[in-house]
Amino acid sequence: MASLPRSLTSEQLEQLIAACEGDSCNRRRDRAIILLLARLGLRAGDVARMRLGDIEWDSATLRICGKGRYEVRLPVPQDVGEAVIDYLQCRPSGVQSDKLFLRTIAPFGPFVSGDGVSSVVKRALARAGVKSPAKGAHLLRHTAATEMLRHGIPLEQIGSVLRHRGVDTTAYYAKVDMVLLMQVAQPWPEVLR
């Protein structure tokens, strides 16, 4: 808890998303993955385990079963839903898996673990030319929390989205909210010599 959360700036995040533009299935998949991580603060393993039936299109929600079989439903933002639909239109057919995201190099199949999702993030960061303090998918989880905080979302709500069990875990992100910190900081008394 002594260090600051490693996250991207808003500009770097936009660069990263823009680096996933394109018509190839690789770019469509990468864009959907990046948006899920950056907008919903999902873990790499959450994305790797995601199944086609986890998205409830009628209610625009996503069912996530995370650590300790803890299940939640999160709202799917418009840009995330559009990116997933765009990917589904080119997703390799004939693969005997109900996992949402597949590797784009033969043999096509689901990611074995979150490591494959982190590799997608690393390659996208390199493509975007973004120099960041961390390189994996967890960077985007921190970015999602930091962005929510910058937009005035209360820590309790951020904790609900990130599926933290206690507000203490979420409070880690309060260290990046300089405006709030300046409001609560006590003036330093003058030091007399």
Q: pLDDT tens digits for 103-118? A: 988 778 999 899 999 9
Q: Give the pLDDT of residue 1.
A: 42
Q: Are strands 61-65 and 71-75 parallel, antiparallel or unpaired?
A: antiparallel
Return all residues near 58 (Cβ < 8 A) that are at least 6 apart: none
142 carries an active-site annotation: no
43 carries an active-site annotation: yes
164 carries an active-site annotation: yes
- Whether domain 10-184 has CATH 1.10.443.10: the reply is yes
Cβ 6 vs Cβ 143: under 8 Å: no
Catalytic residue among 43, 49, 142, 163: 43
Q: Is the pTM of this model over 0.85?
A: no
Q: Give the pLDDT of residue 181.
A: 45
Alpha carbons 133 and 3: distance in angstroms, whole number:
12
Lowest mean pLDDT among 93-102, 137-146, 173-182: 173-182
Where are the domains positioned within the chain?
A: 10-184
73 carries an active-site annotation: no
Catalytic residue among 49, 141, 142, 163: 141
Alpha carbons 39 and 29: distance in angstroms, whole number:
15
141 carries an active-site annotation: yes
Lowest mean pLDDT among 86-90, 95-99, 125-129: 95-99
Q: What is the dihedral of CA 150, 151, 156, 160, to 10 degrees?
A: -100
Catalytic residue among 28, 31, 87, 173: 173
